[in-house]
Amino acid sequence: MHQFTRALGALAISALVSAGLVVGLSTPAQAKDLLPGVPDALAVVSGPVLSGTGDVGSTLTRTLPVWNIVGVTNSTQWLSDGAPIPGATGATYVPTAADAGSTVQAAVTGTLLSLVPLTAYSNAIPVPAAGGADPGDPGDPGDPADPTDVLSAVLDPVLNGNPAVGSLLTVTAPVWSLPGVATTYQWLRDGVPIPGADDPFYVPTADDAGHQVSASVRGALLGIPGVSLVTESLGIPLSSGSAVSPASDVAVTGTRKIGTVLALTGPTWEPADATNTYQWLRDEAPIANATAATYKLVPADLGHAISVKVTGHKDGWTDNTITSDPVTPVTGDPIQFLLKPGLTGTGKVGKLLTADPGVWGSAGEDGAPPTFSYQWSRNGVAIPGAVAQTYQAQLADAGRSLTVTVKATRPAYKPGTFTTAGITVAKVATSLQAKTAKSTIKKGQAAVLALLLKAPGVAKPAGVVKVFDGKKLLKKLTLAPGTRGRTSVRLAGLKPGLHRLTAVYAGSPALAGTTSKVVKLKVASKK
């Protein structure tokens, strides 16, 4: 509707300029040059209308014109035979004896801001001359134009020809109501003047394809307001000869991995300034909102054919669409963590350790959040069945390093894995008791030292025990599991005197070493 209004306004201005009726422009050529650059020119939608008999002393009333823009300020000037009547600027006018025999009109000038003012003329009403002359007598057609005459078209102009690019169009001249009328032409495209197209014939060009073509025909006669008529419009169809055609093909580029971006090479078109629109396809069906020149592959694309449809467009040309060869996406790279997984808890037998899976990427539009699985390891060797997020440290873990491998899995991607830093489980604390059957023995007797090794939760502690007399190693023995930590050792050949005996447990991979308290033994001399 706005396009139609602007076109109508431009035509009205052009018509009135040609008659010299637009205030502010000295020549029709100036107005013609100005029109293409005026986005919203002031134009008449319907002109003012006079009502009344025109008799001397009888009131004539004018209506205001309807403009194409609201807010127009109107000013009126009544005319007698085209000349201003002094002081006659109101909505009504009463003809006087001085007007007898003349034609009265109302000229209404519309003004709005910085737009070119425009004057619209009403119909003319003759004022009967004294003596009863017939005001309706148009006069002898062979005589010069009578100022009381009003120019109009008896037959309107008509377009002829095949509406197609390269096909001749003609316009028949209108039949005017008065003789001697000068007729001029201006061809229009969508209501806008076509530069240089001012003959009674016109051959549409490729620029007209897809647009409406019409002709503005103007009649002018000295001393009488001119008349402009616009013919019906003919639609010029898009022809096969003006279709956009591909000059190069389009191809999809990229690694084709889920999560990566596909791009394009090509296409180019003839004409070269044609523009592209895009639609990505999954199994030949449009992907919602995928209308850019690039496309990021999502999990839903895995196992499907992805292609792109590119349409070349240029105003006045027929669109053309080409489709790329499809590509088949492959599984995406392993997903990566943003915050690495870790372990929490105390490294002690019987304590619960917990795996923190960390943070792995952002699902966003790329699919669901990952799922996690776990595998606990002892000194780098997987612990059978230890696949929960938590793990209770066992005796077998004492003295060893525990780690957990977190596997993050998301559809259409390779899984991401990460092995945490280890937590070393402390060895089980032990205690060793050493006792002698007698605190004093005679020289030559053997002392018996009883040993008891204890470890909480360990029924059969084992390992190497050494017995010292001060710093002197007396014995080295091995506690077998079957002894349940108990054994005794005979100490023979001890010299007379006081001996300070200790037993030292060396420990094992799971048990901490320990030393017994000092046991004092006296060896007496023989008497």
Do 411 and 518 lie in a common domain? no
Within its chain, how far is the Cα of 370 from the centroid? 26
CATH of the domain at 268: 2.60.40
The Cα 338–Cα 30 span in angstroms is 69
Residue 525 confidence class, pLDDT cut points 50, 70, 90: confident
Do 7 and 105 lie in a common domain? yes
CATH of the domain at 403: 2.60.40.2700
DSSP string, 446-493: PEEEEEEEEBTTBSS--EEEEEEETTEEEEEEEE-GGGTTEEEEEE--
Q: What is the mean pLDDT of residues 460-468?
A: 95
In this prediction, residue 427 carries a pLDDT of 96
The answer to which of 23-27, 382-386, 417-421, 484-488 has the lowest mean pLDDT is: 23-27
Cβ–Cβ < 8 Å for 398, 349: yes
Q: Does any domain span residue 131? A: no
Q: Does any domain span residue 517? A: yes
Cβ–Cβ < 8 Å for 262, 290: no
Do 169 and 248 lie in a common domain? no
Do 167 and 117 lie in a common domain? no
Q: Is the pLDDT of residue 314 over 60?
A: yes
SS3 state at 341: coil
The Cα 400–Cα 422 span in angstroms is 9
Torsion of CA 95, 98, 104, 105, to 10 degrees: -90
Q: Does any domain span residue 329? A: no
Residue 59 confidence class, pLDDT cut points 50, 70, 90: very high
Do 42 and 118 lie in a common domain? yes
DSSP string, 397-438: GBTSEEEEEEEEE-TTBPPEEEEPPPEEBPPBP-EEEEEES-
Q: What is the mean pLDDT of residues 238-266?
A: 89
Widest CA span in the chain? 190
Q: Is the pLDDT of residue 364 over 70?
A: no
Q: Does any domain span residue 17? A: yes
Q: What is the mean pLDDT of residues 21-43?
A: 43
Q: Could you say which of 424, 439, 456 is where a domain stops?
A: 424
Q: What is the mean pLDDT of residues 233-238?
A: 87
List, in order, residues 6 or more apart from 370 with CB less than 8 Å away: 335, 360, 361, 363, 408, 409, 410, 416
3-state helix, strand, coil in the chain (%, to 5): 10, 45, 45
Q: Does any domain span residue 328? A: no
The residue assigned the tokens 């190497």 is 464
Q: Does any domain span residue 142? A: no
In this prediction, residue 527 carries a pLDDT of 61
Count the domains in the chain: 5
Residue 240 confidence class, pLDDT cut points 50, 70, 90: low
Do 43 and 120 lie in a common domain? yes
Do 405 and 299 lie in a common domain? no
Q: Does any domain span residue 377? A: yes
Do 62 and 101 lie in a common domain? yes
Q: Is the pLDDT of residue 523 over 90?
A: yes
Q: Which of 110, 118, 122, 15 is nearest to 70 (CA)?
A: 110
Residue 36 CB: number of other CB atoms within 10 A?
Answer: 11
Q: Does any domain span residue 226? A: yes
Do 361 and 399 lie in a common domain? yes
Cβ–Cβ < 8 Å for 276, 266: no
Q: Could you say which of 424, 440, 461 is where a domain stops?
A: 424
92: phi then psi, degrees, rounded to nearest 5: -130, 160
Q: Could you say which of 401, 424, 447 is where a domain stops?
A: 424
Do 376 and 408 lie in a common domain? yes
Residue 434 confidence class, pLDDT cut points 50, 70, 90: very high
Cβ–Cβ < 8 Å for 118, 72: no
- Structural domain for 396, as ranges: 337-424
Do 385 and 438 lie in a common domain? no
Q: What is the mean pLDDT of residues 22-35?
A: 35
- Digit-coded pLDDT (tens) for 271-309: 999 999 999 999 999 999 999 999 999 999 999 999 999
What is the pTM (predicted TM-score) of this model? 0.52
Reported for 263-268, long-range contacts at CB under 8 A and 24+ positions apart, including other chains, are 263/293, 263/294, 264/293, 264/294, 264/308, 264/310, 264/324, 267/310, 267/312, 267/322
In this prediction, residue 363 carries a pLDDT of 59
Do 194 and 106 lie in a common domain? no
The answer to which of 9-18, 184-193, 260-269, 286-295 has the lowest mean pLDDT is: 9-18
DSSP category for residue 129: P
Residue 130 confidence class, pLDDT cut points 50, 70, 90: low
Residue 481 or 129, more confident = 481
